[in-house]
Amino acid sequence: MNLREKCPIIHFDDLGDERGKLVVIEGGQSIPFDVKRVFYIYDSDDTVVRGQHANRESEFVLINVAGRSKVRITDGEEEFVAELDRPMTGVYIPKMIWKDMYDFSKDSILLVLASTHYDGTEYIRDYEEYLKEVKKK
């Protein structure tokens, strides 16, 4: 499986009508895990890079529910950039994938759905350490 297949862009159904749009994300249905945690990142801009880590245990779906940002995704071999700029589209990031989020528009609200409760010890924040661990697999 190549990296884009491992980290697919997911298009959610729009249940909107003349009253406005409605997007529903059901854990285990439109995304491949049950959601245990939700967080969102806003008030970032195009000068910062966030993320810069991989997670040994967590899976994520990232959605720009407002504005736009980019996510650079790598498994240590391949790399691609997901451009998130619509509330109906997200990117799935499985375990042990390195990600950097950047180029946030001023109005960006980046919603993150996670498969785990927060545990800082499952983060790998050193890229050399990540390469070592990912190559063992």
> Is 39 a binder of ligand TYD (CB under 6 A)?
yes
> Is 80 a binder of ligand TYD (CB under 6 A)?
no
| Closest residue by Cα to residue 82 from 26, 6, 135, 7 | 7
Total of residues contacting ligand TYD (CB under 6 A): 6
What backbone phi and psi angles, to 5 degrees, belong to 25? -125, 115
> Is 70 a binder of ligand TYD (CB under 6 A)?
no
Helix, strand and coil in the chain, % to nearest 5: 10, 45, 45
- Our CB check for ligand TYD shows the closer of 21 and 37 to be 37
> Is 84 a binder of ligand TYD (CB under 6 A)?
no
**Which range in 4-12, 14-22, 37-45, 75-83 contacts ligand TYD by CB under 6 A?**
37-45
Do 96 and 134 meet the contact criterion of CB atoms below 8 Å apart? yes
- Our CB check for ligand TYD shows the closer of 14 and 43 to be 43
Structure tokens, 12: 């959610």
